[in-house]
Structure 1
């Protein structure tokens, strides 16, 4: 008599008798559940892409808003510099008026007035250019924020569709399945709108 005996595990049993829980039997047993599972996986993937795009556009919106704040500070500094040059110009004009009897001093103050006027023109142009860049950065920030909202809406709709799919799987209601497809389709349209920048 042999002392050896065979120990059979659940895996061996499933391979030998697929009708009792093997992979093939399980897949064919409930095609409805399989379709919903595949739909949920696809929606989760699409939702992840939408979420990534939403985060990306939110980051860009913050970047442009920060850029606008930096440029606004630089513009304010230029306007302060412009005002300081204007005060120096006024003092030079006063000096020129008071030194009218001294041609050498008057010529020096008049040259200073011309110098400050020239410097003010350059500062003015730079300050205006900075203000224009503030407006452009603010506009870009608003555009990116709008795109972010679209991506967030698409993500939310996709998450709702996933929830409806889960409820569909539990309740086996066809109308919920149709609702899940409808919400998913609408979410996809919003995602396309976000991609196109609408």
Structure 2
């Protein structure tokens, strides 16, 4: 309290001044800055982890769509094969050369259509496989981001324990685990 040039410290003020003067190298201040930096980097890593997880799901969905389209094309291929088989049977059973020529034309048409359908189905299967590969890569990257985020969260917890116990060696552990988290984030960034 102050009044008319007279200043009296309250018990709380005295404790704060004492802590500030006797705290080794401003441990609380250092830990506050370290924690803020770790939390900021951790938030960015968590965002990237969520984004890669969403991408993995979208890519897997695209793979499933392409796989379904390919299955539909293969079903159409089977239908054309069945029609071709019936035309071949009809060719064998046709009594006149005129009817046989009609069935030969149908067989040739079905064979041509089957080849086109087969090419489309194989292309769709390849696209599905590509989407699966991209999904797997995104999921791997998501795991790296999650590992990095977890390490940073552990580091933040260590900073809190350091502040409570005032053990300097725990500050080193905080920085080491935080460094591991950042290293894992760098690996995630470079898709390793």
Mapped pair 1:56 → 2:28: no
- Alpha-carbon separation, structure 1, partners of 2:18 and 2:139: 47
Correspondence for 1:88 among 83, 91, 94:
83
Shift in alpha-carbon separation, 1:107–1:26, aligned structure 2, 3 A: farther
Conserved? CA contact 1:57–1:148, under 8 Å: yes
Mapped pair 1:111 → 2:105: yes
**Please, which runs of 5 or more residues in structure 2 have no aligned partner?**
none
Shift in alpha-carbon separation, 1:106–1:170, aligned structure 2, 3 A: same
Offset, 1:28: 5.3
**Please, which runs of 5 or more residues in structure 1 have no aligned partner?**
1-9
Query: Which consecutive segments of 4 or more residues in structure 1 shift more than 4 A?
Result: 25-30
Offset, 1:27: 10
- Alpha-carbon separation, structure 1, partners of 2:153 and 2:27: 20
Alignment of 1:119-138 (within 5 A): 119-138=113-132
Offset, 1:81: 0.7
Offset, 1:103: 2.0
Correspondence for 1:182 among 176, 179, 182:
176
Q: CA RMSD in A?
A: 2.4
Alignment of 1:6-155 (within 5 A): 21=13, 29=21, 31-99=26-94, 101-155=95-149
Q: Structure 1 length normalisation: TM-score? A: 0.86
1:79-104 Cα distance to aligned partner (Å, 9 max, x none) = 111111001001111111111x3122
Offset, 1:26: 9.7
Correspondence for 1:167 among 161, 164, 180:
161
- Alpha-carbon separation, structure 2, partners of 1:81 and 1:175: 70
